[in-house]
Structure 1
Amino acid sequence: MSRLNDLIRQVAHQDGRLAADLRREFDALADRRAFGLNFERHTPETVELPGRPVRKNDKVRILPERGQMPKKSDERLFKVVKAYTEAGDRWAEVEAMDDPNEKRSIAIDDLVVVAEFRDPIYPGLVTTGKVERGGDKPFHTVINAENYHALQALLFTHRGKIDAIYIDPPYNTGAKDWKYNNDYVEKEDHYRHSKWLAFMERRLQLAKELLSPEGAIVLTIDEHEVHRLALLAEQVMDGFTVQMATLVNNPKGVTQGYLSRVEEYALFCFGPSFQMASAPDDLLTHKETVQAADGRIRPRWKGLLRSGDDSQRADREQMFYAVWIDPSARKLIRADPFLPLGTEPDFDLKDDAGNVVAWPVRKDGSLGRWGVGPDTLNRLIQDGFAACGRYDKKRSTWSVSYLSENVRAEMDDNLLEILGRDPETGVADVVYVDAASRRARTVWHRSSHDAGANGTDLVGELLGAGRTFPFPKSLYAVEDTLRLLVSRKPEAIVLDFFAGSGTTTHATMRLNRQDGGRRTSISVSNNEVPSKDQSELRRNGVRPGDAGWESQGIFEFITKPRLRAAVEGRTPSGQSLNGSYKFTDEFPMAEGFEENVEFFTLTYESGMRVASHREFAKIAPLLWLRAGARGRRIGDITTGWDVAEAYGVIANLDLSEPFIKAVEAQDGLTHGYIITEEDRLFEAMVRQLPAHVEPVRLYSSYLRNFEIEAARAAR
């Protein structure tokens, strides 16, 4: 070891950067675990930033000529020595990072800025649209960004405040499903697994700092990396309780090798103070349940009217019959024998006691059929397992419900008990025996979790023809996952930094609709163009950063329109959505959601310009996010100060008196941002702020946050 230290010191005299890189790798090796998960960390990770202005001292790559495909030589890094204008064109003088003697003059349009993950970045946000249907609710935030840098930005706004993180990272199948250093990692790459682990470790370390002690993170994965990810989670999420659940997400199966795979996995990492609530469904044995005010969990009663396929009268003649009802007591009396085809039903039929009949009438007014035969229904009425609902004037009939065969089988298994019976109707009050301690199981098997029907097909409905997204999660699987984590937190903050098509935000909105919650989500998705489309775009002379390229990326083409469609209830082309949401909460998709969503793109600013108060407009959304993403956003303070619903900002401290009065008068204000370089002035302002207002000093707290993160990434 001492000899290696001596050699590194010798190298430092000739090449300080190389010595620093060697020292970093040496320290990583020296700190390597003797046991556990060991892997090459492949530093530094880099990302291209198309559209970011080229500035002096930036690291850049030289883009291939338009119409040409990238080559290995295009991956070289250069440093911008100076930028200048010549004959009206913008040029840059650059020198090679691996050979300072190699200098070139390149048109700035042919350069792309590159960020290494050990370089400090100073992020801002620029809005690219919003949907407002939620009144005074806080906004869901959707960010177009490289997620590592987005996580660094969120450490300034949400450190220790996130209640739940749900991510669906790349599965590392070798099928061009993710990039490392701007290259797709393919199956033949000998370092494929270690690159993936390094990629995930960096992000999990930041995610852990974002979680509150009561929070939890869920990572979904398939068999390609599940065992490595489990070990990584154990190492990174030290102090958390880690459990794995198996989710049946493709009942049809995918043949890979000798067996047909029907499942994927979810790693749950529960924070040290996390408390699990009882669940209305254990996701394995008990189906279609509801939780009542008394805390007991009851099976959901099934509508007797048949729906879907095979639901018309002509489909099952023996299941079209009259059901006699006492309308005053809403009591089922009996079922008559079936009415043969060709005989018209009498909707005005009554007996001497005033009892009436219900017929199976579909929503469109046509004649349907019941879900069970008359003999079965008579047995259910006798046992108290069938009940009368409300009268439907539109269909001129009554609704009837019953306990399905599956639920009755659970009674035979002693999983259910009868608490009592209604003294007038005889209907049984059926509850699950161990409802008070219900927990989701570690194996989930629900038809609602089918990623084909409730992921791919649902996204297709939302986006309309011509837009597809590969392998989206089932909306209801994500909803069930989040319900376990935030059902008792109506104002929870949910994060997804591998957001893809936006299912996590969609699921959060579903939960809010079910219980009136005001939960917010933060979703991060990049604008990567699918690999199958990149070659054609490049051959046509289109490059990353061009409008024609960016419009085809995931964020702009899928995520943004999917969430807009979900909220507004119509496709990107303006047509009302067809179909209905199912399972826990059934309603037409065209109704949309009463929610607010804003879309942003993450920008990369100059630290010097931020410090000199020249980029306030770009930093302003981060201040708004830190204060809860609610109410008006302060985007300009040329008057010296401003106060909105959630926060206030002051730049001219000579105006502190009216600013403090406005802060005190604003109910619900939580943050005060004070722009000053003077310690004494900042401390004086803090003393004047109300005790419940969090003081934040700008821009030192902002700049320091990202300098610390860069230093950590360099280790």
Structure 2
Amino acid sequence: MNDGPVTPVGVRLDPLAGIELLDQEDLIRLVRSMMSNGVALTFHGKRSAKEISRKVRPRVMRREPRLHVGSPAEQSRNLLIEGENLQTMVTLYKYRGEVDLIVTDPPYNTGQQFRYNDKWDEDPNDPDLGTLVAKEDGSRHTKWIKAMMPRLQMMKAMLKPSGVIAICIDDNELFHLGMLMDEVFGEENRIGILNWQKAAAARPDNSHISSATEYVLIYSKDTETARTYSLDRSEKDNRRYGNPDRDPSGIWREGNLTARTYSTDNDYGIQSPFTGEVHYPAGNGAWRHPKRNLIGWLGEWGVPYEIRSIKDGKRAALMVVGQKPGKISSTHMEAAQKRLESGPWPFVWFGTDGTGRPRVKTYLERIRKGKVPTTYWASEDLSSDEVPFVELGATSWDYTESGRSADGVSELTSIVGKGHGFDTVKPLKLFKKIIQLWCPPQGLVLDPYAGSGTTGQAVLEVNQEGDADRRFILIEQGSPATGDKYARSLTWQRLHNVITGQRLGPDGKLTNGADPVLGGFEFRMLTRQIDAKTVLSMKKDELVDVVITSHWDMGRRGSTNLIRIDDPKYSYLVGCNEQGEGYFIIWNNGGPVGQLDLDSYRIVLKDAEKARIKPPYHVYARYEVYQSRNVQFWKIPDKILAHLGLNENSDRFNDDEISG
């Protein structure tokens, strides 16, 4: 038995491995952990990794109006931010403790995607992604965990007490991420590990076991308050159901007898008892039910069936006894017609007049809904050998399809065209199901590794399908090392095309090729670090952006979405909130920030009158010389810095929660 480190490449599960590298504080923590008989994740540089998030400083966040999509009100609901994700989450201080669901797909440590910046150990404010970490790098696991730990700490801080995080991973870092999640979120807050089928067939990527699945680790911030959602069916959901044959099992609708995946054993003919025609699975599919079940259901038409080869190059067919393909005796036809007229029809039926293809019944009462999902999300429909298959609708999520990686790539290609460079994209169905299960209808979804924008599209589509109003924040840096800041190209293009319905035509031009999806978003980017001197040196346009992007009110923190107002007829009015309240910045003839006095207050009143805005008036200024009951004063730079967590009395960088 080997008592040494489990993973000698960097992550040590043996508490004594690398003990000579630990300082006094790490040694004390290690001894305490050993004395409490706990299991701890120990690696070189762990203490600095835990403290990195407290050293990151917020940055100026600039709006890019030319890249906004949708109406001003729709833009204010959602955000696409170009920037390093740890720095961006720190800058998004107003959303701390306001996020309902984090669903994200970080770079896998396969030697192809993950980059690590060694400067982060000393200066986590460096925005560079660093160099690609090769699979042969002996410290690649340690580097990956050191990059993930501070980001997970910030993600936890962003969540509401009832919030949930769903993070995708493959088997390269599954075990390390699991231990890391246990440490940051607590083992008691682990909701589950979802195993989803990423490919229809196993890939030959391992000499022993080929992989066809990946994983999603689901953790809550607090399992006592977290909730897995279900949905009661409405009358609108049930409109397709009826009972034309007076079936005692209740109302039903037509279901598909053909599965979406192919199986040679289930590819054969079924003869109709009405016409004698032999029917085959639609497209390139196969029948979804076992042959022994089908022959029983077909026999309920009062016609005897047998399993017999008809030399059609396929498996033995289900044929009416003694009948040839295309032929049916009048005796058998009359028996089937009698059952059709008297009802109820068998589970497998041939249309209301008996002349159609075989199909099945989907009973409303047998649809499973409001159930906790299973840990395995298959990409093919589930069926039972003993009971009729139940096809689930889009609003019943227990066993909806997860989709495959190839589906994700195809979905992206269909929206933005070829040449996007992504060969692994999470499928929409996977993310939509996660959003439906763990984000309330009015909730906020965050994706710190937005990639091509799957999360944003999933939120928009789930909203439209379920009449919900979820919001999203997507963060993506792109690949600056290769000169590709695709947050403003690929990610933006996908969301733009989804919202507008535009698609890339054969001539390379955008045309209206799909139904638009309701929604919009603002595009923002991180720039320089921010402090009091920076704020006071800003020009008006930059300061307006900082106010619009950082402002929040106690009591309605994350929901304080300000809409910027750019109109030369206003002297001080720069924005309004969802309640229609105005926001003003006092300037001295376009020069430095001014003070709120009687003269400037009168100008505020004139702006408010022009815009038909009623009190309270939110006024930003350097000093407050004049006071009014109609004004809520916000001091520059103090309040701006406070809204970014930089106020002297409550410095977020001294908050222990962020460091876990």
Question: TM-score normalised by the shorter chain: which range applies?
Answer: 0.5 to 0.7
Per-residue CA deviations over 1:488-510 (Å, capped at 9, x if unaligned) read x3321110001111000010011
Give the aligned partner of residue 170 of structure 1. Answer: 107
Question: TM-score, normalization: structure 1?
Answer: 0.58
Contact 1:136 1:630 in 2 (8 A): no
- Aligned pair in 2 of structure 1 residues 660, 511: CA closer, same or farther (>3 Å)? farther
What is the CA–CA distance in structure 2 between the aligned matches of 1:672 and 1:30, rounded to whole Å? 54
Query: SS in structure 2 opposite 1:404?
Result: strand
Contact 1:157 1:623 in 2 (8 A): yes
Query: SS in structure 1 opposite 2:150?
Result: helix
Give the aligned partner of residue 260 of structure 1. Answer: 210
1:278 aligns to 2:230 (yes or no): yes
- Aligned pair in 2 of structure 1 residues 305, 385: CA closer, same or farther (>3 Å)? closer
- Aligned pair in 2 of structure 1 residues 661, 252: CA closer, same or farther (>3 Å)? farther
1:189 aligns to 2:120 (yes or no): no
Displacement, 1:202?
Answer: 0.3
Displacement, 1:431?
Answer: 1.4
Give the aligned partner of residue 345 of structure 2. Answer: 383
The one-letter code matched in structure 2 to 1:276 is: T
Measured on the aligned residues, the alpha-carbon RMSD in Å equals 5.0
The one-letter code matched in structure 2 to 1:644 is: C
Displacement, 1:30?
Answer: 3.8
What is the CA–CA distance in structure 1 between the aligned matches of 2:567 and 2:83, rounded to whole Å? 24
Query: SS in structure 2 opposite 1:522?
Result: strand
- Select between 634-643 and 611-620 the one with higher mean Cα deviation: 634-643
The one-letter code matched in structure 2 to 1:40 is: H
Per-residue CA deviations over 1:566-623 (Å, capped at 9, x if unaligned) read 222223533447xxxxxxxxxxx71121211232221114424443162404414414
1:149 aligns to 2:87 (yes or no): yes
- Aligned pair in 2 of structure 1 residues 704, 461: CA closer, same or farther (>3 Å)? closer
Query: SS in structure 2 opposite 1:698?
Result: helix
Displacement, 1:631?
Answer: 6.9
1:616 aligns to 2:529 (yes or no): no
Displacement, 1:400?
Answer: 8.4
The one-letter code matched in structure 1 to 2:101 is: A
Q: How does 1:254-653 map to 2 (within 5 A)?
A: 254=203, 255-272=205-222, 273-278=225-230, 301-302=253-254, 336=275, 338=277, 382-383=344-345, 385=347, 404=360, 429-432=363-366, 435=369, 437-447=370-380, 448-486=401-439, 489-528=440-479, 550=483, 552-572=484-504, 573-576=508-511, 590-612=514-536, 614=538, 615-623=542-550, 628=559, 632-634=563-565, 639-646=571-578, 647-652=581-586, 653=596
Give the aligned partner of residue 236 of structure 1. Answer: 184
Displacement, 1:473?
Answer: 0.1
- Aligned pair in 2 of structure 1 residues 169, 669: CA closer, same or farther (>3 Å)? farther
The one-letter code matched in structure 2 to 1:249 is: K
Contact 1:42 1:195 in 2 (8 A): no
Contact 1:301 1:403 in 2 (8 A): no
What is the CA–CA distance in structure 2 between the aligned matches of 1:386 and 1:499, rounded to whole Å? 45
Per-residue CA deviations over 1:33-68 (Å, capped at 9, x if unaligned) read 4441112236878xxxxxxxxxxxxxxxxxxxxxxx
What is the CA–CA distance in structure 1 between the aligned matches of 2:463 and 2:232, rounded to whole Å? 16
Query: SS in structure 2 opposite 1:216?
Result: strand
- Aligned pair in 2 of structure 1 residues 398, 634: CA closer, same or farther (>3 Å)? farther
- Aligned pair in 2 of structure 1 residues 398, 220: CA closer, same or farther (>3 Å)? farther
Query: SS in structure 2 opposite 1:260?
Result: coil
Contact 1:139 1:629 in 2 (8 A): no
Query: SS in structure 1 opposite 2:192?
Result: strand
What is the CA–CA distance in structure 2 between the aligned matches of 1:461 and 1:501, rounded to whole Å? 13
Which stretches in structure 1 are left out of the alignment for 5+ residues? 1-22, 46-114, 282-289, 322-333, 341-371, 391-396, 408-428, 530-543, 578-588
The one-letter code matched in structure 2 to 1:253 is: A
Displacement, 1:246?
Answer: 1.2
What is the CA–CA distance in structure 2 between the aligned matches of 1:672 and 1:26, rounded to whole Å? 54
Displacement, 1:521?
Answer: 0.8
What is the CA–CA distance in structure 2 between the aligned matches of 1:450 and 1:434, rounded to whole Å? 20
The one-letter code matched in structure 1 to 2:198 is: N
Contact 2:450 2:474 in 1 (8 A): yes
The correspondence for 2:64, drawn from 114, 124, 127, is: 127
Displacement, 1:150?
Answer: 0.7
Which stretches in structure 2 are left out of the alignment for 5+ residues? 1-20, 119-129, 240-249, 280-318, 320-325, 381-400, 587-595
Contact 2:547 2:640 in 1 (8 A): no
Query: SS in structure 1 opposite 2:445?
Result: strand
Instruction: Decide which structure has greater strand share.
Output: 1
Per-residue CA deviations over 1:170-208 (Å, capped at 9, x if unaligned) read 221233433333122222323222221121110111111
- Select between 704-713 and 184-193 the one with higher mean Cα deviation: 704-713
Contact 2:69 2:496 in 1 (8 A): no
The one-letter code matched in structure 2 to 1:243 is: G
Give the aligned partner of residue 200 of structure 1. Answer: 148
What is the CA–CA distance in structure 1 between the aligned matches of 2:85 and 2:165, rounded to whole Å? 16
What is the CA–CA distance in structure 2 between the aligned matches of 1:698 and 1:607, rounded to whole Å? 12
1:140 aligns to 2:78 (yes or no): yes
The one-letter code matched in structure 2 to 1:502 is: G
Question: TM-score, normalization: structure 2?
Answer: 0.63
What is the CA–CA distance in structure 1 between the aligned matches of 2:487 and 2:563, rounded to whole Å? 25
Contact 1:213 1:271 in 2 (8 A): yes
Displacement, 1:523?
Answer: 0.5
- Aligned pair in 2 of structure 1 residues 662, 173: CA closer, same or farther (>3 Å)? same
The correspondence for 2:157, drawn from 209, 219, 225, is: 209
- Select between 32-41 and 492-501 the one with higher mean Cα deviation: 32-41
Displacement, 1:270?
Answer: 2.1
Per-residue CA deviations over 1:623-677 (Å, capped at 9, x if unaligned) read 4797748673146998344452435333343345775898899999999755356
What is the CA–CA distance in structure 2 between the aligned matches of 1:453 and 1:251, rounded to whole Å? 9
Query: SS in structure 2 opposite 1:246?
Result: strand
Give the aligned partner of residue 43 of structure 2. Answer: 39
Give the aligned partner of residue 699 of structure 1. Answer: 640
What is the CA–CA distance in structure 2 between the aligned matches of 1:198 and 1:299, rounded to whole Å? 56
Identity, % of aligned pairs?
20
What is the CA–CA distance in structure 1 between the aligned matches of 2:427 and 2:546, rounded to whole Å? 35
Contact 2:379 2:404 in 1 (8 A): no
**May I ask how many residue pairs the two structures share in their alignment?**
498
Contact 1:660 1:689 in 2 (8 A): no
- Aligned pair in 2 of structure 1 residues 142, 643: CA closer, same or farther (>3 Å)? closer
Query: SS in structure 2 opposite 1:139?
Result: coil
What is the CA–CA distance in structure 1 between the aligned matches of 2:560 and 2:611, rounded to whole Å? 16
The one-letter code matched in structure 1 to 2:374 is: R
Contact 2:274 2:355 in 1 (8 A): no
Contact 2:105 2:168 in 1 (8 A): yes
Displacement, 1:472?
Answer: 0.6
Contact 2:105 2:169 in 1 (8 A): yes
- Aligned pair in 2 of structure 1 residues 606, 438: CA closer, same or farther (>3 Å)? closer
Q: How does 1:82-97 map to 2 (within 5 A)?
A: none
Query: SS in structure 1 opposite 2:431?
Result: helix
Displacement, 1:336?
Answer: 4.9
